Structure 1
């Protein structure tokens, strides 16, 4: 359970809001920093659309303190001019957050946040005890550039695994019904609380165009990781559901293999291999979200049991 709840702001290099939750644990475990994905805010870790406690509560029950930020320009973080907003700026602000915390952390990133936490390992690896990537976007140096299937002065359509998406070139992308049901929830997913889809949809945020175009590595614009130094020996876990449209066993397996190739102490958990099927992209919202969090906490207890650093 939480024993204290505080809020804070990073002001430079970009405004970043975060919440910090202290627990009744004995203080011998790293803080977990929970980085959200696109169209979301840090609130995705605080509760589920159908009213269950979220992953922050689940990890707190295992004795971890939590820090939950919103990306710059998203949610309760301050606005950022579109021409200056980039994944690199988001990563720099996350790095500044780690510097403010000043102690070893477990860095957990979901979806687009996965590519961001990979970059933060490169820049701030001395502050990271372990890495957890949940259905992570691949970095720009691993992800191929997309096939452009149509383009106008204001929009661009790209081919994605299993489908194609049309995005604005400026402004912000607002999730379509198809994107919500097929990409976020998962067209074949069975674990998402479907009676709460309206609540889920109501909490989605517009995603600034520069970030969504980077996510699909348009013209090679995705956030990149170039130096492997801070990945050597880093405990790293990749977790993927079996019904995630853009995160097949092969797609996320390639990301896991890339991390291992950088020297990370890597474990890849494709949930279906453990007989856990039906999970889509939003693992923290699915009906077995607490069990998945418990599994991650169990891995952390083995790989990053204390805050003593690597």
Structure 2
């Protein structure tokens, strides 16, 4: 990691820690908030039989003809604007696979999430449910969207670097020093957030994110996991809509042949603990670093922060939900401030 980035992390721990305590102690002042849906396309469905059913107990029978035009690929966005505003651009919070914008709202053990953290520091925040997730709605399957995948309760425990390997969920065992809230009810609270994902919606997701940025204007994008791969690819299509890009454990990359399109998008790449020992996550980070090297070779700037190397230990894949989530957010805040994006 570049020495300048290492010094930044040290400064974040020393200086931003004081700032965090002061900000968290104050009431949160919101000037305005709201929500909207963006993007989407019209799709025609034909050849389906009429559906007859009784929608409620004591209700009248209902006939619905499912043939017709459907709106699909739309995305839900919730915005909050604090008072005063100190971020020089809006801050987007994009979640990962099987999840929704709840990722950033509240942690499984009831603490304030990153949405609160950045609002308290004067950032206008936009929290989205990506296409076909949560309040964005879904579409008929298999007529419009194809195969969907649901996660059993054991999967994130073992795959998101919480438990210490296969069978750890049944044993209730975790990686040493793990920071994710792992008491049974806390973990079940996390699983209540988990939703299905479809495997053929990438084009709709990217189109909706572009529509969001076109509506709001050039922004800072903080993206996690699958959302990180989308963010890199959206930025390659529309670098003019990005003031900076913060990638928290991106699960994929952009298109290597188009790496030069990111040369004017300052980027922070961040991974938590236990990565090197994990056969899957070690490959994912290696691919991300290889892609980051291609961006740098094209004249771009990518700062690579390995949290445990900087003394921030125990982070699972769900960094923004871990017990030390504010400490990690302070590093992000310091990085953005150092780039003149916070006043």
**Does the 8 A contact of 1:29 with 1:63 survive in 2?**
no
- Alpha-carbon distance in 2 for matches of 1:28, 1:273: 28
Aligned to 2:290: 254
Q: Of the candidates 239, 255, 258, which is equivalent to residue 125 of structure 1?
A: 239
Distance 1:137 1:263 in 2: 23
CA separation of 1:76/1:283 partners in 2, compared to 1, >3 Å: closer, same or farther? same
1:138–1:255: 8 Å Cα contact kept in structure 2? Answer: no
Query: Hey, what does 1:231 align to over in structure 2?
Result: 262
- Map Cα deviations across residues 144-194 of structure 1 (whole Å, 9 max, x no partner): xxxxxxxxxxxxxxxxxxxxxxxxxxxxxxxxxxxxxxxxxxxxxxxxxxx
Distance 2:29 2:238 in 1: 27
CA separation in 1, counterparts of 2:206 and 2:301?
23
How big is each residue's C-alpha offset from its partner over 1:106-136, in whole Å with a ceiling of 9 and x where there is no partner? 0111001111001110112111100110000
Using the size of structure 2 for normalisation, the TM-score is 0.61
Q: Given the alignment, which residue of 64, 67, 76 partners 2:135?
A: 76
1:131-146 matched pairs, under 5 angstroms: 131-139=245-253
For residue 28 of structure 1, report the CA deviation from its aligned partner.
5.2
Mapped contact 1:241–1:270 kept (Cα < 8 A):
yes
Match for residue 76 of structure 2 among 17, 20, 29: 17
Contact 2:253 2:288 in 1 (8 A): no
Structure 2 match to 1:92: 207
Could you state the TM-score of these two structures normalised by the residue count of structure 1?
A: 0.67
Structure 1 residue 251: Cα displacement: 4.8
Deviations 1:193-216 (A, max 9, x none): xxxxxxxxxxxxxxxxxxxxxxxx
2:99 counterpart SS class: coil
Q: CA deviation at 1:255?
A: 4.0
After the TM superposition, which residues 259-278 of structure 1 pair with which residues of structure 2 at under 5 Å, given as runs? 259-278=295-314
Q: Secondary structure at the match of 1:298?
A: helix
> After the TM superposition, which segments of 4 or more aligned residues of structure 1 sit over 4 Å from their partners?
none
Aligned counterpart, 2:220: 106
Q: Which of 112, 135, 141 is matched with 1:53 structurally?
A: 112
Counterpart of 1:240 in structure 2 is 271
CA deviation after TM superposition for structure 1 residue 27, in Å: 5.1
1:33/1:107 contact within 8 Å kept: yes
The structure having more radius of gyration, on CA atoms, is 2
Partner secondary structure for residue 137 of structure 1: coil
| SS across alignment from 2:245 | strand
Alpha-carbon separation, structure 1, partners of 2:109 and 2:88 = 30
Q: CA deviation at 1:254?
A: 2.9
Q: Tell me whether 1:116 sits opposite 2:230 in the alignment.
A: yes
Q: C-alpha displacement at 1:264, in angstroms?
A: 2.3
- Render the CA deviation track for 1:258-294: whole Å, top value 9, x for unaligned: 4323432110000111122211100000011011111
Q: Which runs of 5+ in 2 are unaligned?
A: 1-27, 42-72, 147-198
Matched position secondary structure for 1:7: strand
Determine the C-alpha separation between the residues in 2 that align with 1:39 and 1:230.
29
Q: Do the aligned partners of 2:256 and 2:291 also contact (CA within 8 Å) in 1?
A: no
Q: CA deviation at 1:229?
A: 4.3
- Cα deviation for residue 100 of structure 1 reads 1.0
Kept in 2: contact 1:234–1:263 (CA 8 A): no
In structure 1, distance between residues paired with 2:317 and 2:205: 22
Q: Secondary structure of 2:238's partner?
A: helix
Question: Please, what is the CA RMSD of the aligned residues?
Answer: 2.1
